[in-house]
Chain A
Amino acid sequence: MAESLKLAYFVAMKEGASYLGGLLLTDMAGIPLDFRYTEPITPTRLQSVLYGKALEPHLKEEVIQKTLLKELKSSPDLFILPPADMAGGWNGDAKCPVLALQKTQEAPLARSGESFRVSPREVLLQCGEAGSPLRVIFALAVDPAAQDLALQKLQEVAYHMDPVEPLERVYAALQTLVRAE
């Protein structure tokens, strides 16, 4: 089971007036299995006016995310986002639990694997013996049972790798793409 875990890290970013996104699929050690990225999308001025504040969420959730998920060869076990994207509420249609990971400065929990539920959607998870726990924020669509299952997977992944680190790689990869173009 451990070898079959796949994590999808999704990042959509705005560079100038364009939006682009990347989706990195890794194994539970963080080694890339697949990486897909979109070409930059530049909304017209009229589209920006018509969409208003809904433009960015729509682009990220409906346009970029769906396009990248379609391109993936295998479905992930966890769909991980940057915390900023989860803060606005995520309405994407990923078939796996969608969550955001954030490093904290909280005091370590008693032992590795222990979790503390802060709110119905937010859990502190101690991933190692030392260090601060991770803040796990689940999407609205993830029910408590699915949350518990996702926490178990996350705990297993955290034994082998830093579960937050691949997000930095996706950011870096998208930055190199922007510079190249």
Chain B
Amino acid sequence: MSDLAETIRRVFHAPASHALSMTLAPACPDRVPPLAATVLQPFVPAATTVAVLELGLAGVPAAEPVHWEARVAETPGLAAWDTGTKVCVPALFQAERCARLAVPALPRRTAVRRLELPLLSARTRSGWSGLGDAGGPARPRVQGFAPALARPRAFAGLDRAMALPVAFRGEDLERVSKALWMRYTLQLVRATGENIRNLEVVGLYRIPVRGTRQVERDPVTGRLLVVLGPEAVAAPRAPFMLARRRSDGSIVCCFVEEA
């Protein structure tokens, strides 16, 4: 760059000039001596050519018009200076070499790459065979289970049922007809030997005439609880009267009718 600046400075710098003495030589009577020009080195020598005029005049010579023609004689110095130099032409200023730089457009959206995560998996040990494979652990056995409930065995237990007292509900004494009532009470007196005035009828029940093992009256409900034997099954039933002695409060009872 410094060479370029120096080159420009020298090209456009004013060439060295030297003042020339323009005074005319003393006039000669017969001829005017030619002007001598001295070419000075170094830069731009100029050669002058003076036309000699034979004036043939006598007298005092006057100043004659002089025409100066400048021409470049030679430029040895410049040639010498130019030798080996290179003109630096910046490539930037050469139009034919300019090129439009195309700026690539920015992508509208960035590409997203999916990164597949590796699945978690159990690592198998070396030497561990798959389930069921030869040498590996055996496949588990599938066991069947039938959830159905087995039918239970059934037992006959009539004796157990017969051991429990059977509750007999008393008949409504007010609904017994008078004739029937008199017959029943008469039978009660005959069976117990008690005076009818000493007896208070507690209840009248229809119970089996056979198989009666135990009789108990429930005072709360008025029911007669009778423990029966197997012979009571299918036995006919007959009215059974229960009475209390007024004298001592004891209970007497009897069947008041034949079955």
Q: Decide whether A and B assemble into one complex.
A: yes
Taking beta carbons and an 8 Å cutoff, which residues of A are in contact with B? 20, 22, 24, 27, 29-41, 43, 46-47, 50-51, 58-59, 63-64, 66-68, 70-71, 128-130, 160-162, 165, 169-170, 172-173, 176-177
Do residues A173 and B161 form an inter-chain contact, with CB atoms below 8 A? yes
Do residues B154 and A67 form an inter-chain contact, with CB atoms below 8 A? yes
A/B interface sample: 22 pairs, CB < 8 A: A30-B168, A31-B208, A32-B161, A32-B162, A34-B156, A35-B160, A37-B155, A37-B157, A37-B160, A38-B154, A39-B154, A41-B150, A47-B147, A47-B149, A50-B147, A51-B147, A67-B151, A162-B167, A165-B166, A169-B166, A173-B157, A173-B160
Taking beta carbons and an 8 Å cutoff, which residues of B are in contact with A? 145, 147, 149-158, 160-162, 164, 166-169, 172, 175, 206, 208, 223, 228, 232-235, 237
Do residues B154 and A36 form an inter-chain contact, with CB atoms below 8 A? yes
- 7 closest Cβ pairs, A-B complex: A35-B161, A38-B152, A32-B161, A71-B154, A165-B167, A50-B147, A169-B164
In the complex, besides A35-B158, A51-B147, A67-B154, 11 extra interface pairs with C-beta distance below 8 angstroms are A29-B206, A31-B208, A32-B162, A32-B233, A35-B157, A36-B154, A39-B152, A39-B153, A47-B149, A68-B154, A160-B206
Do residues B155 and A36 form an inter-chain contact, with CB atoms below 8 A? yes
Instruction: Chain B residues near A35: list those with CB within 8 A.
Output: 156-158, 160-161
Partner of B164, one of A20, A34, A47, A173: A173
Q: In this complex, which of B160, B232, B234 has the most chain A Cβ atoms within 10 angstroms of its Cβ?
A: B160
Of all chain B residues, which has the CB nearest A172? Answer: B164
Task: Report the Cα distance A58→B206, complex, angstroms.
Answer: 40
Partner of B149, one of A41, A160, A161, A165: A41
Minimal beta-carbon separation of A19 from chain B (angstroms): 9
Minimal beta-carbon separation of B154 from chain A (angstroms): 4
Task: Report the Cα distance A58→B150, complex, angstroms.
Answer: 12
Task: Report the Cα distance A92→B166, complex, angstroms.
Answer: 28
Partner of B158, one of A32, A128, A162: A32
Instruction: Chain B residues near A64: list those with CB within 8 A.
Output: 152
Task: Report the Cα distance A160→B239, complex, angstroms.
Answer: 11
Do residues B147 and A162 form an inter-chain contact, with CB atoms below 8 A? no
Do residues A34 and B158 form an inter-chain contact, with CB atoms below 8 A? yes
Do residues A31 and B175 form an inter-chain contact, with CB atoms below 8 A? no
Minimal beta-carbon separation of B26 from chain A (angstroms): 155
Of all chain B residues, which has the CB nearest A22? Answer: B157
Task: Report the Cα distance A18→B237, complex, angstroms.
Answer: 39
Partner of A30, one of B147, B152, B167: B167
Of all chain B residues, which has the CB nearest A34? Answer: B158
Minimal beta-carbon separation of A9 from chain B (angstroms): 10
Task: Report the Cα distance A104→B233, complex, angstroms.
Answer: 31
Do residues B166 and A30 form an inter-chain contact, with CB atoms below 8 A? yes
Do residues B162 and A63 form an inter-chain contact, with CB atoms below 8 A? no
Task: Report the Cα distance A35→B156, complex, angstroms.
Answer: 6
The answer to whether A31 and B155 touch (CB under 8 A), given A41-B149, A160-B206, A169-B161, is: no
Task: Report the Cα distance A128→B170, complex, angstroms.
Answer: 11
Of all chain B residues, which has the CB nearest A71? Answer: B154
Of all chain B residues, which has the CB nearest A19? Answer: B152
Instruction: Chain B residues near A172: list those with CB within 8 A.
Output: 164
Task: Report the Cα distance A71→B151, complex, angstroms.
Answer: 12
Task: Report the Cα distance A176→B157, complex, angstroms.
Answer: 12
Task: Report the Cα distance A46→B253, complex, angstroms.
Answer: 58
Partner of B145, one of A39, A46, A63: A46
Instruction: Chain B residues near A165: list those with CB within 8 A.
Output: 166-167, 223
